Amino acid sequence: MLIACVPLLIGLVLTALDPAATVRALAHAEAREGALQQVLNADAAARRSLREAGVVEALVALGLDTQAPFEARALALRAAGASGHGSEVDALAPLLAPALDRTSAGANASTRAQGLALALEAAQALRAAGARAALTPAVTAHDPDVRAVALGAAGVPEQLCAGLSDPQPVVRAAAARALGRHAEKADCLVPALKDRAPSVRGAALTAVGEARVASAVDAVRAIAGDARGPTHVRAEALAVLGALGDRAPARAALDTHLSKGGIVPLALGAVAALVDSTDPEDLRRLRAAVSSKEASVAVRAGRALALRGDHESLPSLTALRARVGARYAADVDAALEQLGAPVEGEADPADVDDE
How far, in Å, CA of 87 to CA of 91, rounded? 8
Question: In this structure, is residue 143 part of a structural domain?
Answer: no
Give the span between the Cα atoms of 236 and 232, in whole angstroms: 6
**Residue 232 above 70 pLDDT?**
yes
Residue 313 domain flag: yes
* pLDDT score at 68: 94
Q: What is the pLDDT of residue 349?
A: 41
DSSP 301-336: HHHHHHHHT-GGGHHHHHHHHHHS-HHHHHHHHHHH
Q: Comparing C-alpha atoms, which of 171, 176, 196 is closest to residue 187?
A: 176
Backbone φ, ψ for residue 225 (5° rounding): -95, 5
Residue pLDDT, tens place only, 281-292: 999 999 999 999
Q: Is 355's pLDDT higher than 50?
A: no
- Among residues 20, 28, 37, 14, the alpha carbon closest in space to that of 62 is found at 28
pLDDT reported for residue 345: 54
- Within a domain: residue 197? no
Separation CA 111–CA 94 (nearest Å): 16
Number of domains in the chain: 2
Question: Taking 50 as the threshold, does the pLDDT of residue 217 lie above it?
Answer: yes
Q: Vertex 249, ends 244 and 254: CA angle to 5°?
A: 115
pLDDT confidence of residue 93: 95
Average model confidence (pLDDT) for the chain?
A: 89
pLDDT grade for 13, boundaries at 50, 70 and 90: very low
175: in domain: no
Does residue 179 form part of some domain? no
User: Is residue 51, in this structure, part of any structural domain at all?
Assistant: yes
The answer on pLDDT for 14 being more than 90 is no
Residue 11 has what pLDDT? 44
> What's the CA dihedral at 159, 164, 166, 167 to 10 degrees?
180
- Per-residue pLDDT of 325-343, as tens digits, reads 899 999 999 999 999 988 6
3-state helix, strand, coil in the chain (%, to 5): 75, 0, 25
**Does residue 203 sit within a domain?**
no
pLDDT at 286: 98
Q: Average pLDDT, stretch 216-236?
A: 96
Range of the domain at 83: 1-103+113-128
The count of C-alpha atoms lying within 13 angstroms of the C-alpha of 254, restricted to the half-sphere facing its C-beta, is: 32
Element (H, E) at 154: none
Question: What is the per-residue pLDDT for 350?
Answer: 42
Question: Cβ–Cβ contacts within 10 Å for residue 43, how many?
Answer: 8
What pTM does this model have? Answer: 0.83
Q: What angle do CA 331, 296, 324 make, to 5 degrees?
A: 60
Instruction: Give the pLDDT confidence of 264-280 residue by residue, as tens digits.
Output: 999 999 999 999 999 99
Question: For residue 77, what pLDDT is reported?
Answer: 96
Report if residue 289 sits inside a domain.
yes
- Go through the chain and tell me how many residues it has: 355
pLDDT tens for 35-93 read 999 999 999 888 888 888 899 999 999 999 999 999 999 999 999 999 988 889 999 99
User: pLDDT tens digits, residue range 24-39?
Assistant: 889 888 888 889 999 9
What pLDDT digit, counting tens, does each position of 105-150 carry? 555 888 889 999 999 999 999 999 999 999 999 999 999 999 999 9
